[in-house]
Amino acid sequence: MREPGDLQALRAMSARVGRNMLLVQGAGGNSSVKDDDVLWVKASGTWLSDANEKDIFVPVLLPAARAALAGDDERIPLAAPGPLRASIETSLHALMPHRVVLHVHAVNTIAWAARRDARDEFASRLEGLAWRHLDYFHPGLPLARAVGAIVAQERIDVLILGNHGLVVGAETCEQAEALVHDVETRLALPVRTTPPADEDGLHRLCAGTDYRLPHDAESHGIATDPYSRAIATGGSLYPDHVVFLGPGLPTVEGADGLATLLARAQASGLPAPIAALVPGLGAVIRSDASPGAEAMLSCLALVTSRLPLSAEISYLSSQHEQMLLNWDAERYRQQVTASRG
């Protein structure tokens, strides 16, 4: 299929955004460009940071995407055959009237979007922009239907998705990228300094187990800072946390803490937790954890350190967590990102 001339611009912009951990982590986020009746959108499970090196965009016929939404069908056929699936959020991209749509998991936006007390701050900080804030909706069709109800009434350039992230629309890739940075600047929060990890203690704790230290040393702040730890163990803040790390995060205490954690998991017939927090020492992650899980642990550290002590935190419900865990579309995304070479 013929590629539009500005697909290269979409690749370059997506790669820049995807390499910025403050905007996108792992396989999170997606981007698209419309070319007449064809929507070029990021493929499910691929990484925006790979946009310059890999073919991560797939073509979808806009009428087919909109018809799938109308028929409550998550399966959106590609305009040309290929091994990949269109992004879970393809319907959202199809509904937005803008030529370019960019969805990111920007950490300042997420930190605000995970709070129940943020609406007044949004109103003052985003003044002058065409924006709307949505409560949490399950990704895919439920979110697309909620967005469709808004864009049918007015043109909105900025969407703050409750417990999820940020979506912007613009006519060019440069404008979309600039708008994301503008919103993040307006929503910027101070970062709480977290105590350093006790890496020697963590190595001793992990010896002989299926756990190791995470690659990103900043991830330890979730465990060493009491408030970040309280937030992280209180529930799930956003969908990708559930998909790649599981609901919430457990804590372990004492020299036998990891062994006890593994024994409990085995007794319940559940897999061992992907990551765990050791109060005062730091974080640990399973030895077979995917790059996506590593990225989500880093994201959690970035978000929790931006949530002030006064914040009224909103978590995903257990029902929403189970919907994500039992969703074939998310299982597929996990498989794709786990096989990333």
DSSP string, 129-168: S-EEEE----TTHHHHHHHHHHHTTS--SEEEETTTEEEE
Task: Please give the residue range of the domain that contains residue 62.
Answer: 7-186
- C-alpha closest to that of 313 among 116, 133, 105, 110: 116
CB 284 within 8 A of CB 205: yes
Q: Is the dihedral of CA 39, 85, 109, 316 positive or negative?
A: positive
Q: Where are the beta strands (DSSP E) in the chain?
A: 30-35, 38-42, 57-61, 100-104, 131-134, 158-161, 165-170, 211-212, 275-278, 282-286
Q: Is 269 among the domain residues?
A: yes
Assigned domain for 57 exists: yes
pLDDT reading at 213 higher than 80: yes
Residue 238 lies in a domain: yes
Percent of the chain with pLDDT over 70: 99
Top pLDDT among 105 and 309 is at 105
191: its two tokens: 């970062």
- Residue 339, pLDDT score: 74
Model confidence over 238-264: pLDDT tens digits?
999 999 999 989 999 877 888 888 888
- Which of 186, 208, 230 represents a domain boundary (last residue)? 186
Q: Is the domain of 21 the same as that of 101?
A: yes
Residues 91 and 228 in one domain: no
Which residues are bridge partners to 100 per DSSP?
A: 33, 170
Q: Report how far residue 104's alpha carbon sits from residue 36's, in angstroms, rounded to the nearest whole number.
A: 24
Say if residue 341's pLDDT is above 60. no
**Does pLDDT of 333 surpass 90?**
no
How many separate domains does the chain show? 2
* pLDDT (average), residues 26-54: 96
| CATH label of the domain that carries residue 14 | 3.40.225.10
Mark whether 43 and 139 lie in a shared domain. Answer: yes
The answer to whether the CB of 192 falls within 8 A of the CB of 117 is no
Q: Do 75 and 160 share a domain, yes or no?
A: yes
pLDDT tens figures, 269-328: 888 999 999 999 999 999 999 999 999 999 999 999 999 989 999 999 999 999 999 888
